[in-house]
Amino acid sequence: MATQITAQMVKELRERTSAPMMDCKNALTETQGDMEKAIDFLRKKGLSAAAKKAGRIAAEGAVGSYIHGAGTLGVLVEVNCETDFVARTDDFQNLVRDIAMHIAAAEPRFVRREEVTEDVLAREREIFRDQALASGKPPAVVEKIVTGKMEKYYAEYVLLEQPFVKDSDKTVGQMITEKVAKIGENIQVRRFTRFKLGEGIEKRQDDFAAEVMAQASRG
């Protein structure tokens, strides 16, 4: 006997997923009224649709910022979408802010792995290979170790592959893909800049000594 899909069930699923009413009803019908399975059904459908949108031109969007503390750390990030209408929505603006905040906290160096330069890749592979060889591992095992460590390198320094700071169970890339499924437009992080006060400036020795003395007096 088929499960009756009520308006209340459809309303609850819509509130939990933000999916269109008809999609919610179809998902509940497909899963015989099982709410959790219906949520998974909608997520899979949405992520599949998001993948199809990835090749579409995204020339609108916003430049977002995040300033930490008393202005000692700041981030600018450009996130693109397809239309100015979506760029002005709260969903998109919140996404841009979340990405800027993540960059401030996680210190990525690249947006995507394709941006990692060949000289950087070669240097990291050489370091990982030398470490593995020094531990006495055979050549075949060494190459597997190098491959594994390179994946960890991407997860540490590539924005889209880093665990999202507000939900470490998903990467930044996965979080954006979910937003694409919800918003309905292609979304791309184009570039970012991260500023840290005083970074790269060598302090004068007398300034450093004064700072140490000040810390000692406070302790």
Q: Measuring CA to CA, how many Å separate 129 from each of 113, 121, 201?
A: 20, 12, 33
What CATH number does residue 38 fall under? 1.10.8.10
pLDDT of residue 90: 94
Q: Are residues 103 and 181 in the same domain?
A: yes
Q: Are residues 66 and 46 in the same domain?
A: no
Cα 130 from Cα 125, distance rounded (Å): 9
Tell me the residue range of the domain where 129 lies: 117-154
Cα 69 from Cα 86, distance rounded (Å): 30
Q: Are residues 135 and 165 in the same domain?
A: no
Q: Are residues 16 and 104 in the same domain?
A: no
Number of domains in the chain: 3
Query: Strand 73-81 vs strand 163-164: parallel, antiparallel, or unpaired?
Result: unpaired
Cα 34 from Cα 216, distance rounded (Å): 63
172-203 pLDDT per residue, tens: 998 998 888 888 888 999 999 999 998 888 76
**Which of 69, 31, 86 shows the shortest CA–CA distance to 196?**
69
pLDDT of residue 76: 97
DSSP letters spanning 160-184: GGSEETTEEEEEHHHHHHHHHHHH-
Contact by Cβ (8 Å): 98, 75: no
The answer, yes or no, to whether residue 1 has pLDDT greater than 60, is no
Q: Specify the pTM.
A: 0.68
Contact by Cβ (8 Å): 45, 23: yes
Q: Are residues 13 and 109 in the same domain?
A: no
Question: Within a domain: residue 219?
Answer: no
Question: Within a domain: residue 42?
Answer: yes
What CATH number does residue 102 fall under? 3.30.479.20
Question: Within a domain: residue 216?
Answer: no
Q: Are residues 150 and 165 in the same domain?
A: no
Q: Are residues 181 and 87 in the same domain?
A: yes
Q: Are residues 43 and 144 in the same domain?
A: no
Q: Are residues 100 and 127 in the same domain?
A: no
95-142 pLDDT per residue, tens: 999 999 999 999 999 999 999 999 999 999 999 989 888 888 888 888
pLDDT of residue 116: 93
152-174 pLDDT per residue, tens: 999 999 999 999 999 998 899 98
